[in-house]
Structure 1
């Protein structure tokens, strides 16, 4: 899972928990609005907007702010990460460190963007996840979805209605005018990085006119990007939502949002206009602040309750996906963002998560050493590969450790890890290095404090999705 830094942990939590400062009134007086209605609308807008604000923070850092330490590349240009994720990567929480990433933020306003991939060996898993500004997953390219053969795919904006271009396998339509493509390419350990770089070098991104070698259409207007910073977001979170909505027209499948946006407009949230776009009384302002706080609490509560608890692991099939799959459940979308933005559809990757042991007690590396044992017949069932990754329980970031090991995955079974005599595998989860040879070989270093762990099953088999396979619980070492 690739996760945006949780807004609630970088200052926007306060933005969603309070809103005491509003911009000066701009337009006509708001229609008569009770405090109760204003609060309800603000709660709804908070829940609706949370993942979009988190997504915008990544867009701004990755593609707009060239001074950001997380800047990647301009729009419509690919950026390849040549190394696996490490504790130095802080813009994204809960990063996976068993694939390398490539990123493209696409501007689809003037014309489609064409993504071309090379022939990739069948044993190497890769995927390209396509996300709208809503954070909906609207398509995939890759091993599971399209196979490992070479091909080109056109990504089009919501208003584009052209024919499938020559040399393009298919057109995939985004619901918003800007879109994010996340490439994940499997790495078989550090020694494999040079081969992976060769694969990444063959990924290409072109506008449709560049791909067809034709005259380009008129350029889309320049965007006066709204600077993202936690202080501004804290003072005026709905200003960001209004800004983002101008690039997310309520057309096509988004037509269902027309009544929703009409309600938002009652409190001054209108696409492309500074918030509030209408005059608000002091009572309504107070009610809006209350609604924002209530919405944030509901999102947090949903995050902690999604899915089922199985042997201490939180399993939430259907947490990430398309608008159709999520059925416009904005509270679920917000909870998914807080669990981790940019998580894959369950068919692409399946994510058991935990902060507790098999008995439901919170994991803490300062208090206990733990083990996780996969029975010989109970390894995670996958078509590609699986991994178990360790994070700091508070920040959800990778942790520094003396052996620079942030995860254990199935490719390590053949060389690095030591199985038990019965074919099972025991991982040693602890802060200090184990003393035994097997413990050292199978050590998954833990923080000196709260622990958060994510199991990833890439291209999972049906038994993972239907519940017939269950992840084993984490036990305190005896």
Structure 2
């Protein structure tokens, strides 16, 4: 059941532009009809409103794909095959499972988590904007790291088992992703993966995903993003501190956009000329940058950084909070040139800054195609390098990772990550349960140097 709400400014705008028509049907309780008067908006307001809405549209797009195209259903767990790469930005170091979980005001869903010891795991719950609600694991729930967890809407009291831990959700739907480290015993990880289950009561009321226009990474949504602003905003509450102000701007632009064909053309032209290019430029390198790597320290809990939320939802939807996993994205070399499979690169870690010394769990670096962020097929079927890859040290005890379409001479094959010949690519460097130097920005992956 959706949590419908409106900002005070929204109500004022609607009241100023509505007339009462007895017998006229409307979606609003007071049976109002909105008269499309022109409300002047600035170019920057259009850009800001687009940027704000885009993050939510990316989540809605994924929900529609999962529910209407893949037909995964709500309250059903999808146990992804080990090593599966059939989705965007896959993580190949863990056993993954995922679910769209839906509850209502009188029903809770029980999430059953198995006992897991001496192996990294987490159950990440996310809201409809891609923000992390909580992570269930031994770090955040030391007294109850496993067992029954009752998921229910905040402020409701549906019947739940006496031995279940109650977790309140911001609205009726969430995304659940769980990860279990493979380590060197993937069969055990797979067995544990299948022990995550849901207990689902009958008769839960579930709303369908919001119907939105189709768009892609290559062709982002344009001015049509303003056609269903009220429905989109009412479909999920937003924890962003400035959400009310941003929503008021989006609603103001929506009223202007619907006031006439000239206004609609102007909005679309500004979206195409300014908003989309600004987003794509930001996606090429955002947050803190060093040596070809970019990182956002607000992933999962974005504060008021709507551009960071857009970019992360675009390139790696369902990113976790940095305390669990921090993601360094490599799109360029240390000279700020885009990464290309026509070049050879070296990432050399000094003996005093090896990634394994900077995590309490594990690390990995994975190579993806751009702009769709899929793994790149290669002759040795190697898509990532991690703490279990058996990397060979250099003579000075440093460790190098080599990136090239063909294995460079005189290097260990274990240290080679194949790249796509003649094509661009991207890297994601994941650090799990990082130590303070990583979280505080004092440690970065070694620079991506192009070898001449």
TM range (shorter): 0.7 to 0.9
Alignment of 1:215-230 (within 5 A): 219-220=204-205, 223=208, 226=211, 229-230=214-215
Secondary structure, aligned partner of 2:388: helix
CA distance in 1 between counterparts of 2:104 and 2:160 reads 17
Root mean square deviation of aligned Cα: 3.1
Residue of structure 2 in register with 1:11 after alignment: none
Alignment of 1:310-325 (within 5 A): 310-318=290-298, 320-322=299-301
CA distance in 2 between counterparts of 1:306 and 1:259 reads 24
Change in CA separation of 1:228 and 1:265 when aligned onto 2, cut-off 3 Å? closer
Residue of structure 2 in register with 1:344 after alignment: 320
Alignment of 1:22-421 (within 5 A): 27-34=33-40, 36-37=41-42, 39-62=43-66, 64-65=67-68, 68=69, 71=70, 73-86=72-85, 89-90=86-87, 92=88, 94-110=89-105, 111-122=107-118, 124-146=119-141, 149-158=145-154, 160=156, 166-171=162-167, 173-188=168-183, 192-207=185-200, 210=201, 219-220=204-205, 223=208, 226=211, 229-230=214-215, 236-239=224-227, 242-249=230-237, 257-268=243-254, 279-293=258-272, 294-318=274-298, 320-322=299-301, 326-366=302-342, 368-380=343-355, 381-413=358-390, 417-421=391-395
Q: Which has the higher contact order (CA 8 A, sep 6+)?
A: 1
Change in CA separation of 1:466 and 1:164 when aligned onto 2, cut-off 3 Å? farther
Change in CA separation of 1:338 and 1:150 when aligned onto 2, cut-off 3 Å? closer
Using the size of structure 2 for normalisation, the TM-score is 0.81
Q: 1:200, CA displacement in angstroms?
A: 1.0
Using the size of structure 1 for normalisation, the TM-score is 0.77
Residue of structure 1 in register with 2:21 after alignment: none
CA distance in 2 between counterparts of 1:228 and 1:185 reads 35
Say how many residue pairs are matched: 413
Change in CA separation of 1:168 and 1:106 when aligned onto 2, cut-off 3 Å? same
CA distance in 2 between counterparts of 1:393 and 1:229 reads 20
Long gaps (5+) in structure 2: 1-25, 28-32
Q: 1:226, CA displacement in angstroms?
A: 2.2
Q: 1:162, CA displacement in angstroms?
A: 5.8
Long gaps (5+) in structure 1: 1-24, 211-215, 270-275
Secondary structure, aligned partner of 1:115: strand
**Pair 1:428-2:402 in alignment:** yes
Change in CA separation of 1:154 and 1:291 when aligned onto 2, cut-off 3 Å? farther
Q: 1:132, CA displacement in angstroms?
A: 0.8
Q: 1:81, CA displacement in angstroms?
A: 0.7
CA distance in 2 between counterparts of 1:229 and 1:82 reads 28
Question: What's the CA shift string for 1:305-350, capped at 9, x where partnerless?
Answer: 52222222213212x123xxx3333233223323432222111111
